[in-house]
Amino acid sequence: PVGATLVGEDAGEQIAFWALALSARLKMSAVAGTVLPYPTRAELSKRAAGAYFSPRLFGNLWVKRVVRAVQRFVP
């Protein structure tokens, strides 16, 4: 079983997002791809999900090279 715990100011505002994600059995990729209104504290949930993928994605040498190549062409 997987769960979520939030502690701090406005934790009650943010936990609803995770309660929905858990009850719907969403994958972490779906959580990371969620478009949320910005700026809100709920955006932190999306950033947390994105942080889950960062080591996997950017730990790969091939991916790093592709990202560098794309950055040369994108202003």
Q: Which residue has the higher pLDDT, 57 or 28?
A: 28
Indicate the number of domains in the chain: 1
Asked whether residue 1 is domain-assigned, the answer is no
Tell me whether residue 5 is in a domain.
no
Question: Does the residue 35 lie in any domain?
Answer: yes
- Residue 38's pLDDT is 65
Span 14-52, pLDDT tens digits: 888 888 889 998 888 888 888 877 666 767 777 887 788
**Res 39: pLDDT:** 64
Please check the confidence at residue 1 and state whether its pLDDT lies above 80.
no
- Please give the Cα distance from 67 to 34 (Å, whole number): 22
Q: Does 63 or 24 have the greater pLDDT score?
A: 24
Q: Which domain holds residue 48?
A: 11-73
